[in-house]
Structure 1
Amino acid sequence: MNHPLQSTDYLHYRKGQPLTCLQQWREQGGEGLLVVDFQLQQYWLPDAPALPLSAIYLWSQQRLSVSVTDQQLVDPGGLDAAALYDYWSERCGFGCFVPGQPMNLQPVYIAKPWGQEIWYTGVEERGVCAFADAGKATAIPWLQAVMPDAAAGPADQALVLLKILDPSPEPVIGDLYFELHEEKREVYVVTEVDKSAWPDGVGAIRYGFDPQYRRQFDSDAQFKAAYVKAVKDYERVRRQLDALPAAEAAPETLQQAERTKRQAMNRFTYLRPLRVGDVVKVPLRLPHSLQHGVRTIEFQTPVYERKILSFAQQVLTQDHWDTDQAAAIMDLEPPAEEAFECLQKGPGLIVERIVDFDDFEVRRITLEAAATIEDLAVPDYGVAMVVAGQAELNEAQYPAGSALFMPGQRAFYRLSCAAKEPLVFLLALPR
């Protein structure tokens, strides 16, 4: 990046690896502002094109502030280092972050045929989430590249993925793909069941296969074969519907065939009831489909892979279903449910490990009014969401719905319930 900048007694300008330049500058007793131009390989895009960026470091009053921008920086003159840093932040719209302090996560909204996903830590070609500061945002991989001590997570590595699944309340339209994963581990926490879709407050997830119907077959092989045939019978009708012009209504006979064959296909599967607060651990190779009107928080392995067995709408992201390949490897039933592990319990507080995967775990912390945890440990980093109530984390307040990144640190975090209603706080920790 070609800046009209010149080094002065308060501004130091370099090119190279930002963290190396920062270390050298501090070892030399540098104070004021350091600007480092560098190239970031955008690993989340095809061919990982290089993006020219500028890391900005302010060392003032024994505290380091860190920023990064793709905008050209201009020194208007007449400002000291701190004032110039603030001027650039306002002019270029970048956030200002202090290593070791928690950071807010800014959502990205991803439209889906069944509703929407709301990402908080996603870094993909489809969207890149950001750290937020006072209404300004900085892309997660940008800050990771320039933040010392991996205080924004390791550079060039995706964080544990936090997102919200927000399906339409309309039946069929709001039902997600019936799919399985071979690598991606997921856990859902139900936060809302739409009463217009489920008047009794009990929603559902399609979760494996119906054990009673399965017993009607002589073997699992026969059951699978019959299921695959039912799916392909439905897919033929689905393809006919998808091929119709958008403005053309489907003939009633075709609509009736779609309903009949969809019901025959779904007869093989099991609908697991879901209520607010329920936790669903999705095992590898188990077909599943969250149903319409059930809103969940999801933590998952940050990889994009799936095999679609069926879908009651047109699939827009690929031109085929993966029924045969998925059926060859799928599990028909989930493992037995295990009780949550209680990690800590005391007056007004409980800490549960609600899922324990190979690559990450998730804890649910529940605190009654005025209750506090003084020794919350985060060794590497944490990705958290306030589900209910209001959290006070190291004296900063976070209302319900807040998503935040917690840097790993040697000292413990202090987490308190800062409202009359109980605090429910989800925390994912990588392995």
Structure 2
Amino acid sequence: MLKELGSLTNADEAAAALDADDEDLTGVYFNLEVENWWDPAPETTVLDVILGRERDVREPRTFCLVAEAGALDGVRGNRFDNHTDLLLACVRAGLTPVDLAKPIPLHPVTIPKPWGREIWYSGIEARGVARAGSAPLPWLRAAAGKLLDGDCSSARAPVLLKVLAPHPDPDFGELYFEAHREKTEVYVVTDVDPVAWPDGTGQIRLGFAPDRVSELGEAGFKTAYLAAADAYRALRDEADDLLAAQRRHLGIAVDAVVDLSTSRSWQALLPQPLRDELAAARDTLATFSDSRALAPGDVVCVRPGTPHALQHGVSVIEFQTPHYERSILSFSQQLVTQQGWDTEEALGFANFGVPEQAVVSTVSESDGCLVERIADFESFEVQRVSLEPGVGHVVAEANYAIAIGLSGEINQGNVDARHALYLAADRPHRFGNTGGETARLLVAVPRPEAASG
């Protein structure tokens, strides 16, 4: 039996109805209004939702089917004597329910950047919305509520998982030198391009140069940094005006990200004296920042106020709070994602101390399974799970978690490197090393008291 509940304000009422002690209840159907708050002009969408429960098994499984209003009418009109009938009706209608008892594949969106690309696995933003199983992630979160997210269901967005993949070219692969007012993030290095960094060690610019801060004092450092940034920006503006003319000539929008070969060809058109002055001014500005060496497996924690810029050819997995804000102190190429730098503003709130080193601590260790905490923030933590061949591990959190394969073969290749999963709350999710070498998995776990704020 499929019970119709009409329009609800949230999914938790539907979950309570589904928990009723009724062996004939196969599922519940309801309508839900959601706002696409991530768009510049938010609108309300009405969703049709079916929550189904498989009861005649040792571990009952819950399925969620969500689509725009009217899309589930072909399923509602059927008779359901059991859960299998409901699933078959979905198949006949060309619909795929999301099984909350299993890790849910995250289907990412790729965001081009002047310095390379970002791959968002749990991103919810105007530039792109990731999918979880068969549904847009925000729709699934709204439709399943606490069944999916636990006590974090009231958070507007989940922990953001993404990959940063910079170009290997030193002129075009450096990220913005930026700081954040709110965003907290952790990088796990996955690859260092061997051509860009022949010795296998890349870099990140992290924090300000402590010797310069000590020499000049904080106020003097700000003044000197701003003067060096202004000098570089004046040259950068001159070059960017020439590049903007090239864009107009070719009919390319001023905010369009172009490919690496095009960027290189345009730079070659700049007058050589200007290119030399740009390189010198960029080098001068770089003396105000500190840097750290990075190799695959290294961890970098970046708290609000910490200036940082990942360097060319160094790819990372990143977990962060879902804040989409930055203040750019400087950038080494034409800026197309916003109007101008934010140097003076960023200097007003940036941290001038030495950034903290990542602290890796052991959570648990047993035969062939090592669980380490590699990031411990107020709003979330990240664990690294290392499994020897044939060894397994269960992730069972009271709230949702987000996992991504780091290396090796896990679950018969279903969680290989860069495969990401959304793990529903309060359920055991099993991961096993099915390959012949050590396999590693990263798992982000939110802190509900922070996530709901």
For normalisation by structure 2, the TM-score amounts to: 0.83
Task: Name stretches of at least 5 consecutive residues in structure 2 with no aligned partner.
Answer: 250-265, 448-453
Partners of 2:175 and 2:331 within 8 A in 1: yes
Pick from 288, 295, 318: which aligns with 1:268? 288
For residue 352 of structure 1, report the CA deviation from its aligned partner. 1.3
1:48 aligned partner, one-letter code: P
Which residue is equivalent to 2:261?
none
Distance 1:210 1:52 in 2: 53
CA deviation map 1:287-325 (0-9, x unaligned) = 100011100000001111211100112222221211011
The residue type paired with residue 31 of structure 1 is L
User: Is the CA contact (8 Å cut-off) linking 2:207 and 2:355 kept in structure 1?
Assistant: no
Residue 143 of structure 1 is matched in structure 2 by 140
Alignment of 1:26-41 (within 5 A): 27=20, 29=22, 31-32=25-26, 34-41=28-35
Alignment partner of 1:114 is 2:115: yes
Equivalent positions of 1:103-252 (< 5 A) are 103-132=104-133, 137-147=134-144, 149-152=146-149, 154=153, 157-215=156-214, 217-244=215-242, 245-246=245-246, 249-252=269-272
Separation in structure 2 between the aligned mates of residue 272 and residue 368 of structure 1, nearest angstrom = 30
| 1:200 CA drift (Å) | 1.1
Question: 1:5: which partner in 2?
Answer: none
* Partner SS for 1:328: helix
From 432, 435, 448, the counterpart of 1:416: 432
Number of residue pairs matched? 412
Paired letter, 1:378? E
Aligned positions of 1:3-402 closer than 5 A: 13=4, 15-17=6-8, 18-21=11-14, 23-24=16-17, 27=20, 29=22, 31-32=25-26, 34-59=28-53, 62=56, 63-70=61-68, 72-75=71-74, 81=80, 82=84, 85-89=87-91, 91=93, 94-132=95-133, 137-147=134-144, 149-152=146-149, 154=153, 157-215=156-214, 217-244=215-242, 245-246=245-246, 249-337=269-357, 339-373=359-393, 376-392=395-411, 397-402=414-419
Q: What SS does structure 1 have at the residue aligned with 2:421?
A: strand
Q: Kindly, what percent of the aligned residue pairs are identical?
A: 35
Contact in 2 for aligned 1:364/1:426 (Cα 8 Å): yes
Offset, 1:54: 0.9
SS in 1 for 2:323: coil
Query: How far apart are 1:72 and its partner, in Å?
Result: 2.8
Contact 1:141 1:155 in 2 (8 A): no
Name the amino acid aligned to 1:53: L
Q: Which moved more, 1:325-334 or 1:353-362?
A: 325-334
Q: Distance in 2 between matches of 1:58 and 1:381?
A: 19
* SS of residue paired to 2:347: helix
The structure in which a higher percent of residues are strand is 1
Deviation per residue, 1:273-294 (Å, 9 max, x gap): 1101110111221110001110
What is the aligned partner in structure 2 of residue 403 from structure 1? 420
**Counterpart residue number, 2:253:** none
* 1:140 Cα deviation from its structure 2 partner: 1.0
Asked which structure has the greater RCO (Cα within 8 Å, sep 6+), the reply is 2
CA RMSD of aligned residues (A): 2.7
Q: Distance in 1 between matches of 2:231 and 2:413?
A: 56
SS of structure 2 residue aligned to 1:391? coil
Deviations 1:55-80 (A, max 9, x none): 12334554542110126345399965
CA distance in 1, matches of 2:374, 2:143: 33
Structure 2: distance between partners of 1:378 and 1:430: 10
Corresponding residue for residue 3 of structure 1: none
Contact 1:180–1:307 (CA<8 Å) still a contact in 2?
Answer: yes
Structure 1, unmatched stretches of 5+, are 1-9
Q: For the residues of structure 2 that align with 1:222 and 1:405, how far apart are their CA atoms?
A: 48
SS of the aligned residue for 2:370 comes to strand
TM superposition shift of 1:403 = 0.7
- The CA distance in 1 between the partners of 2:274 and 2:121, in whole Å, is 41
Partner of 2:317, secondary structure, is strand
Q: Which residue is equivalent to 1:4?
A: none
Per the alignment, residue 256 of structure 2 pairs with none
Instruction: Write the distance in 1 (CA, Å) between the matches of 2:413 and 2:202.
Output: 35
Q: How far is 1:190 from its partner?
A: 0.2
Cα contact 1:165–1:298 (8 A) shared by 2: yes
Q: For 1:254 and 1:90, how far apart are their aligned partners in 2? A: 65
Cα displacement string for residues 233-271 of structure 1 (whole angstroms, at most 9, x for unaligned residues): 111111111112125732222222211211111122122
Distance between the aligned counterparts of 2:381 and 2:148, measured in 1?
20
Stretch of structure 1 that moved more, 194-203 or 13-22:
13-22
- Once the two structures are superposed, residues 5-42 of structure 1 have per-residue CA deviations (whole angstroms, 9 ceiling, x without a partner) of xxxxx555553015435644764846346432332122
TM-score, with length taken from structure 1: 0.87
Q: Counterpart amino acid of 2:404? A: M
Q: 1:89 to 1:112 in 2, by over 3 A?
A: farther
Q: Structure 1's 339 and 88: CA in aligned 2 closer, same or farther, altered over 3 A? A: closer
CA contact (8 A) 1:388 1:424 kept: yes
The 3-state SS of whatever aligns with 2:415 is strand
